[in-house]
Amino acid sequence: MAAELSPIDKAKFAAAKRAVDFVEDGMKLGLGTGSTAAFMVRCLGERVRSEGLRVQGVPTSNRTAELARQLGIPVITLDEAKWLDLTIDGADEVDPQLNLIKGGGAALLQEKIVATASERMIVIADAAKDVPQLGAFPLPVEVIPFGWQTTQLLIGQVLEGLDVGGRETTLRRAGDQPLRTDENNYILDLHLGRIGNPRQLALMLNQIPGVVENGLFIEICDTVIFGHDDGRVTLRDIAGGASQEGRVDLARADTIFAGLGE
Ligand SMILES: O=C(CO)[C@H](O)[C@H](O)COP(=O)(O)O
């Protein structure tokens, strides 16, 4: 018998399952990266297999591409698709304006390109990622390896003039080596604590030579779906109005998805 999903995985699954209801036949989809997005890709694979749903997916990482292919979801490149109907992706933090911190899984560059090329972005997350202000989660910034320590100093200088809670930056590692992104770059994590003005910070970071992209997604997300461990989901739309509540049946989740999160 399959082991039961942990409460956090149930919450991620609930959000992922609900998001896949928005997928329609013939859509070109952006497929996000991370453990919540992996649940979404599995739920999508289920619909492709059981309903014969025809979709094409543009993965935001090599990991997601591999998973999608394993599940029989047709994979195309963004250059082939050019424009997408919908991207579904996870996030590390979501603020009340639906601005995001992303990049905990080091895929922020492709994730931002894909989400920006989409008619609609739906973010899926467990409810703990719903925050009043961004910044407790370290902000990932993708940088070119050449001269990265100079880039780090320049980032520190930019932060001095801004409304943030802290200024420490660390190079992300994989074992004893710097972590390499799918584009072969490095990630600097900015431990800010609090980001007073996310839009200003995002713009200023991207002006620094050596910075490729930052993990602040400003006005890119249209809808967020927060999952809870009892199967409840809360939908919030950028268009405003009250949040909608719903419920996802977790009964099959334990059987099909136990142990399959990233
Ligand atoms: O931005 C991301 C990867 O770059 C992920 O979407 C984000 O880190 C959330 O991951 P998880 O669903 O595993 O919590």
Binding site membership of 107 for ligand 1 (Cβ less than 6 Å): yes
Residue 1 lies in a domain: no
Instruction: Using most ligand atoms within 8 A of CB, pick from 10, 31, 35 the residue to mutate for ligand 1.
Output: 35
Write the pLDDT tens digit of every residue in 14-58: 999 999 999 999 999 999 999 999 999 999 999 999 999 999 999
Predicted ipTM of the assembly: 0.99
Whether residue 40 is found in the same domain as residue 149:
no
Whether residue 17 is found in the same domain as residue 109:
yes
Domain stop point among 176, 193, 212: 212
Total domain count, the chain: 2
Residue 258: CB atoms within 10 A of its CB come to 15
Q: Cα(130)–Cα(73) distance, rounded to whole angstroms?
A: 30
Whether residue 191 is found in the same domain as residue 93:
no
Whether residue 250 is found in the same domain as residue 204:
no
Q: Cα(189)–Cα(155) distance, rounded to whole angstroms?
A: 11
Whether residue 224 is found in the same domain as residue 117:
yes
Residues 6+ apart with CB under 8 A from 218: 99, 198, 199, 202
Instruction: Using most ligand atoms within 8 A of CB, pick from 99, 101, 102, 181 the residue to mutate for ligand 1.
Output: 102
Measure 167 CA to ligand 1 centroid, in angstroms.
23
Measure 103 CA to ligand 1 centroid, in angstroms.
6
pLDDT values of the chain reduced to their tens digit, one per residue, 262 residues: 457 899 999 999 999 999 999 999 999 999 999 999 999 999 999 999 999 999 999 999 999 999 999 999 999 999 999 999 999 999 999 999 999 999 999 999 999 999 999 999 999 999 999 999 999 999 999 999 999 999 999 999 999 999 999 999 999 999 999 999 999 999 999 999 999 999 999 999 999 999 999 999 999 999 999 999 999 999 999 887 678 999 998 987 776 665 454 5
The pTM assigned to this predicted structure is 0.96
